[in-house]
Amino acid sequence: MQKNQEIISDLDFARLNVKDSYNQYKPEERNPSLINSIHINQEPRKYYCYRHRPDLVKERMADDLSHDELKKQISKLSPSEQESITHIFSLFSAANPQNRCIILQGILTQCCLTQLSFVSNHIKDLIRIDFIVALPSEISFKILSYLDAISLCHAAQVSKTWKYMADDDVVWHKLCEQHIDKKCYKCGWGLPLLEQKQKRSGKRSALNEMSTSSYSHVVTTCTSAADAHHPAKYLQHTSPVYSPSYTNPSSPNTSPYDSQDEMREFKRVRVSEDKTMPLYPDIPFITPEPQKTRPWKEVYSERLVVERNWRKGRYNVRTLKGHTDGILCLQFNEEYNLLITGSLDNTVCVWNLESGELIRILKGHTRCVQTLQFDNVKLITGSMDHTLKLWNYHTGQCVRTLEGHTDGVVSLHFDNRIVASGSADHTIKVWNFASSKCTTLRGHTSWVNCVVIYQKSQLLSCSDDQTIRIWDLITKSCIKVFDSQESHVASIQCIKPTVLCSVSKNPINTSFKDENQRSKCNDQDKIDEPIVISGSLDNTLKMWSLETGKCINTLFGHVEGVWSLAADKLRVVSGAYDKSVKIWDKDSGKCMHTLVGHGGPVNCVALGDTMIVSGSEDSEIKIWDFKN
């Protein structure tokens, strides 16, 4: 018993009343520069156990109540009995810790069973230690960081001190790191990213217009279809293009890899030396507002509400009407509150995503707009009239037209200064604005339905010839064709590169000796495996390993052909000819929900953190909002 008490004392005692000789000097004699050289004379340190620490006594209201009750019981005794009991208390209080243990041991040996039972019941609450209060705050935060969100909320209800510790940003920031934009494989939950919407200032808008106008001096129109065999004639050599890339992850044809260096370059704003007037007089100088921060617990709670709506299938539906024929392609950007759609009516519509207001209609193509993609500067569209058009969608102006394909442009994707387009002429063209060159990739034997630039140096494509190919953009050659024995049995309409968490062959060492190597909640024995998801007219979706080209999983559920798909780190969304939109769990391949409401085949879908946007042959656009 004495040994256990000594161990507890070593853990819970706090050092108090240490006298510093620095305080003995008079104010005029103190020199801060000599503080470190002053000899500190210390009196013997006084240690207090957890129950008698002056800073913790006020935290234990139960001790005060039991002390008052004991006084009442003693007051009922005779004066002689009161005097003897008080004498015993004084002797015990004056004894040192070793003698106290001897006295208690002697008293316990003389107690009967009833008295021992009383002692056992009475000390249950007395020996409990509020470790969150007693331990240093760093250790308390470390302990709380191992709890899940529900346990942290329960901990915050224990006391004011626990609430202060359990609601701290240190704890909730770690919890957000483990769950936001990824799935925690310990609890099975993942939370959406929810990028904040930004109101574009006049300075940013002016920069966008200036950057867009630079394209008028760079991109030239391919003169004739006969020049298709001479790609060098497509683009004339001019000054380099300045095109900061911002690709929305909700776009079905957008690569998940962004150009961070270009974004940093775009964010730089040059001002004059006096710091008051802008370098360019047509761009107003705006002082940036200080960034506002929110508690991490609030950030987690906001995302948890949205994720619960995704899991339970709770959403609101809005319908946008403006096109006069079927919707073939779309992309939206929640941050900039924009939705752009292309249609069979040969037009492109720009919408306000939040209000559903039609901002402007872009006209210029002579046949249906089959594909599009935009960032914060430019919009590129592809049409069955054999051309690609570059637009300033802020003003509605068509900047340039790219010609070169001998048949309709079915798909396109750009990343920074490289644009790839797939056509019904069975070829893929790669337009490089930096080097002013255009390259033609040949290998498919039918329509190229989808192209995606992957990690800047590779290109993924799928075709009606039922194959998926990987191209090297440096050598301009096909480096892999996915396994034909496991391929779709009908034309492949869409592909989407993403990652899938799988079991690691060499699990990370999870010992607690090296804190830096100790894995987190969802990384203990998991690795992110790059995959490609494909949708086909054989009514299925397939997941392929990018490394091996083998089929990992096949998703069944649609009763007619799959025309489009979108994916993020948590889920997959597909639209099909059966007029439905399905939401799939990416890891398990299970169909979570089916969204029904379109009156025609669903030609295109896009996925965001809080919503799904789908376009159909019924000329309607539906927004499935899981946040509001």
- Model confidence at 291, pLDDT cuts 50, 70, 90, reads low
- Model confidence at 37, pLDDT cuts 50, 70, 90, reads very low
- pTM for the model stands at 0.70
Per-residue model confidence (pLDDT) at position 174: 87
Task: Tell me the C-alpha distance between 127 and 167, whole Å.
Answer: 27
Average pLDDT, the chain: 77
Low-confidence winner among 185-189, 244-248, 293-297, 562-566 (lowest mean pLDDT): 244-248
Mean pLDDT (whole number) for 587-600? 94
Per-residue model confidence (pLDDT) at position 63: 60
Q: Which residues pair with 613 in a beta bridge?
A: 606, 623
Winning range, highest mean pLDDT, from 141-150, 359-368, 521-530? 359-368
Contact call for residues 579 and 199 (beta carbons, < 8 A): no
Low-confidence winner among 118-122, 232-236, 553-557, 590-594 (lowest mean pLDDT): 232-236
Contact call for residues 401 and 389 (beta carbons, < 8 A): yes
Winning range, highest mean pLDDT, from 100-104, 246-250, 280-284, 448-452? 448-452
Burial of 60 (0-12, 13-18, 19+ CB in 10 A): middle
- Model confidence at 218, pLDDT cuts 50, 70, 90, reads very low
The closest of 12, 15, 33 to 132, measured between CA atoms, is 12
Kindly state the helix (H) or strand (E) to which residue 502 belongs, with its residue range: strand 492-503
The closest of 377, 305, 309 to 583, measured between CA atoms, is 309
Burial of 454 (0-12, 13-18, 19+ CB in 10 A): buried
348: how many CB neighbours lie within 10 A of its CB? 28
- Model confidence at 34, pLDDT cuts 50, 70, 90, reads very low
Per-residue model confidence (pLDDT) at position 66: 72
Burial of 227 (0-12, 13-18, 19+ CB in 10 A): middle
Mean pLDDT (whole number) for 177-190? 76
Two structure tokens written together for 543: 């997941």
Contacts of 301 (CB under 8 A, 6+ apart): none
- Single-letter amino acid, residue 436: S
Contacts of 14 (CB under 8 A, 6+ apart): 47, 48, 53, 55, 134
Sheet of 397-403, strands arranged across: 369-374, 379-383, 387-392, 397-403
In this model, does residue 510 exceed pLDDT 70? Answer: no
Two structure tokens written together for 449: 């339905």
Domains of the chain and any CATH numbers: 315-504+525-625 (2.130.10.10)
Per-residue model confidence (pLDDT) at position 362: 96
In this model, does residue 558 exceed pLDDT 60? Answer: yes
Mean pLDDT (whole number) for 172-189? 79
At residue 297, φ and ψ (nearest 5 deg) are -65, -40
Contacts of 557 (CB under 8 A, 6+ apart): 582, 584, 591, 594
Mean pLDDT (whole number) for 447-472? 94
Greater pLDDT, 370 or 265? 370
